[in-house]
Structure 1
Amino acid sequence: MKKIVFLLVIALSLQLSAQDEQPDYSDKVATLDSTLKTLYGVISGEKGEERNWDVFKFLFHPKAKLIPTGKTQEGKHVARFLKPEDYISSSGKWLVENGFFEKEIHRSVNTFGNITQVFSTYESYHSEADEEPFMRGINSIQLLNDGERWWIINIYWQQESETSPIPSEYLPD
């Protein structure tokens, strides 16, 4: 019996020690601005530069979704529903192999109580040195402030196209 208690005490102390070693990312979700800045920053990087997926996952509520939209070859509008881990699996390698910088160029914010909806217009580049974006679009980001931090609930986005240009009210003045 003493041996079992001793092993439980050791296991508990190892678990607590491992928890103490977890990085503190609370400053990255302390404000709406820091949360969005971290979101864009964590997916951005030069070709060959690994992303910090632990920080990325920290931004999202456990039930959050990332929802890219697009068109099928037949022209039908569709949406894919991804968990943060699914996004990492489907896009993480591409981001590193190609280089990717997503920069917010305009933001429209609506808040009621503890919920916030952000229309965040972005431009995408392969390198920070690029002068022209290869893509633009709008991220519709829903967030919750639980009184302690900001959580991303969903990111729902669409790329700009010839048939769907970004409206002027979502572009910089």
Structure 2
Amino acid sequence: MKKLITLLFICLLMFSSNAQETAEKPKDYSSKVETLDSTIKTLYAVISGEKGEARDWKLFKYLFKPDAKLIPSGKDKEGVYKIRYMKPDDYIKSSGKWLVENGFFEKEIHRKVDVFGNITQVFSTYESFKSETDKAPFMRGINSIQLLNDGKRWWIINIYWTQETKENPIPNEYLPKQ
């Protein structure tokens, strides 16, 4: 009986060791958050893709400090401005399927950066498209992105955004120079 138990234990150890070797190693995303620019570019790239194209949600979550928020704002049916607080996982649950089913590209067209110590505020003007080949955006707006540089990497703390409307056009100072 002892020999059988020992044999089973050895087989279990061999199987466990083999499974660990073949398990996928976690991706190293550190280069994506080395600079402010790489962090912002990665944010836009990771949510963008053609219809049917999966997004790298592990990379998306890697950009954010724990307890970070995504905060969309806009008017409700009564014309009152509302906001919604989401964690990165909430955003994935509420928008992830739609992004893949419809195709979505968000492109930064202008950036204004303010820095004080380790905190950075970015006003990032964007245009949204259903496909990378689209000529005209179906939506524009501004992402107000707050970031932390902890001396090792950049972290997104919050993204607070609103879409452009006829009543609320994007001011010229947040558009590309013509």
Q: TM-score, normalised by structure 1?
A: 0.90
Deviation at 1:19, TM superposition (A): 10
What residue in structure 2 maps to residue 36 of structure 1?
A: 40
Over the aligned positions, Cα root-mean-square deviation in angstroms equals 2.2
Deviations 1:12-59 (A, max 9, x none): x99x97999211100000000000000000000000000000000000
Q: 1:23 aligns with which of 21, 27, 37?
A: 27
Q: Return the offset for 1:100.
A: 0.2
Flag structure 2 segments of 5+ consecutive residues without an equivalent: 1-8
Aligned amino acid, residue 29 of structure 2: Y
- Show structure 1 runs of 4+ deviating over 2 A: 16-20
Query: 2:95 maps to what in 1?
Result: 91
Answer yes or no: is 1:133 the counterpart of 2:137: yes
SS of structure 2 residue aligned to 1:87: helix
Distance 1:146 1:20, change over 3 A: farther
1:163 aligns with 2:170: no
- Equivalent position of 1:68 in the other structure: 72
Residue 119 of structure 1 pairs with residue 131 of structure 2:
no
SS at match of 2:110: strand
Matched residue SS, 1:40: helix
Aligned length: 166
- The alpha-carbon distance between structure 1 residues 172 and 75, as it changes in their structure 2 partners (threshold 3 A), is same
Structure 1 stretches of 5 or more lacking a match? 1-5
C-alpha distance in 1 between matches for 2:57 and 2:140: 23
What is the alpha-carbon distance in structure 2 between the residues aligned to residue 153 and residue 66 of structure 1?
Answer: 9
Change in 2 beyond 3 A, CA 1:154/1:17: farther
Instruction: Return the alpha-carbon distance in structure 1 between the equivalents of residues 80 and 46 of structure 2.
Output: 31
2:105 matched to which residue of 1? 101
Q: Percent identity?
A: 70
